Structure 1
Amino acid sequence: MIKLYLADISVLGDPQSDNSKISLLPQERQIKILKHKLADDRRRSLGAGMIINKILYENNVDVNSIHYGSNGKPYADNIFFNVAHSGKFAFGISSDKEVGCDVEIIKNAHLDIAKRFFTESEYNYISKSENSSNTFYKLWTIKESYIKLSGEGLRTPLNSFEINISDNDISITENNIAKDCSVTQFEFDNHSFAICSYEQPPRKIEFNYV
């Protein structure tokens, strides 16, 4: 079963001066959080750590039971999870199967990035859309969630696969062959969210707030 988690970092204190939340996290995560130079980056990393803690707690998994793939992606026995953060949110997802997720605050469209790193069809889809900013981040978050699902990260060129959108149906192809994964994308509070999974995503989007 897929579950979604959301942490609003705007209500969190700076973990550099407020240890009420960071002290509940593993030492390794605390060090990672405090390495960030900006307070909001520390809050975002804290929010992601809080989400991971909640996922592990809900699934009775000890933090020491986390494993890391060759690419550094964490997972635990019988539970897969992924986290991302941007803007005012940290976002997470858990599942019985591999998952990937992404969130981005919606700003102005980066058509130069799309032209350079996306496929030609994707670039044309963005440039011809009524709202190029929303469309750019829609495709961007889907691409990020897919490469996080695969575990390859940015070692996978973003133009080596293509996002196909028809009405509300979203699919991914590589060399014109459809990939066996499910994609969900939605917007909330001026942020674009995407989920890519080997399990059918929930029909109704409901966050578990952290």
Structure 2
Amino acid sequence: MEVWAAYSFLHQTDEQQLEKEFALLPAHITEPVYRYKNPADRTRRMISRILLETLIKKYFPYQGFSWNRYRKDALAKPYFEGSDIHFSSSHHEEISFVCITSGSSCGIDSELLKPVDPLLYADFLHHREKDLITNCEDPAQSFYKIWTRKEAVLKASGLGISCELNSIDAHTDTVIANNSLYYTMPITLSGNIITHLATPEIITALHLEEIIF
């Protein structure tokens, strides 16, 4: 299956231009974002919304994109009513990421690699994940690879936080969630950003682009 993904580095963003573009979106999209008190949080979410709109309009113009069709299901997974486009987003201190697919679900998660004690997250890790982290040369990097795989799969499956995290084993590239198999793929932009995609089908083509505001 094909996946389209776009990312934007926060430090390259012209915030005035971004806010001008974001203000054009309908109120039911902008108001929840404006409620975030932290300016960086608002910026990251603004970027994610505009990245999503840009990708769909560019690659799926026949879908007749409209924010009025934006919905969330019972588990808070967002979707566009009446569309076969699936999407997912992730953001942290340095970057915002969005991926889209047609006809099949997708999930993405990105984390900034920084010092971490994996034992603090022991309750959220599967026993095979713990074994891998304990026995590897770089526990922090292994932890973030596992964590981003796990989060990407949870997004793709729609389970989100409704699932017990330690029940999902993401120590390899293929992960089972909700009795279904998911395939994960790393996206490498720099040594300190760990990112994974997840889909229920093998990814045959990834179309990746940077968008600067």
TM-score norm. by structure 1 comes to: 0.86
Partner SS state of residue 92, structure 1: strand
Partner SS state of residue 194, structure 1: strand
Q: Give the equivalent residue in structure 1 for 2:55.
A: 55
- Which of residues 84, 92, 96 is equivalent to 1:78? 84
Per the TM alignment, residue 5 of structure 1 is displaced from its structure 2 partner at its CA by 1.0
What are the equivalent positions in structure 2 for 1:157-172 lying under 5 Å apart?
Answer: 157-165=164-172, 170-172=173-175
Alpha carbons 2:154, 2:177 under 8 Å: kept: no
Gap regions ≥5 residues in structure 1: none
Q: Does 1:40 align with 2:40?
A: yes
Alpha carbons 2:92, 2:111 under 8 Å: kept: yes
Per the TM alignment, residue 88 of structure 1 is displaced from its structure 2 partner at its CA by 1.2
Partner SS state of residue 162, structure 1: coil
Per the TM alignment, residue 161 of structure 1 is displaced from its structure 2 partner at its CA by 1.8
Alpha carbons 2:183, 2:202 under 8 Å: kept: yes
Q: Does 1:64 align with 2:68?
A: yes
Distance 1:164 1:50, change over 3 A: same
Aligned residues: 203
Q: Does 1:138 align with 2:145?
A: yes
The residue identity in structure 2 corresponding to 1:120 is H
Q: Give the equivalent residue in structure 1 for 2:197.
A: 195
The residue identity in structure 2 corresponding to 1:153 is G
Q: Give the equivalent residue in structure 2 for 1:186.
A: 187
The residue identity in structure 1 corresponding to 2:79 is Y
Q: Does 1:129 align with 2:136?
A: yes
Q: Structure 1 or 2: larger helix share?
A: 2
Q: Partners of 2:107 and 2:27 in 1: how far apart?
A: 25
Higher normalized contact order (CA 8 Å, seq sep 6+, divided by chain length)? 2
Partner SS state of residue 137, structure 1: helix
Gap regions ≥5 residues in structure 2: none
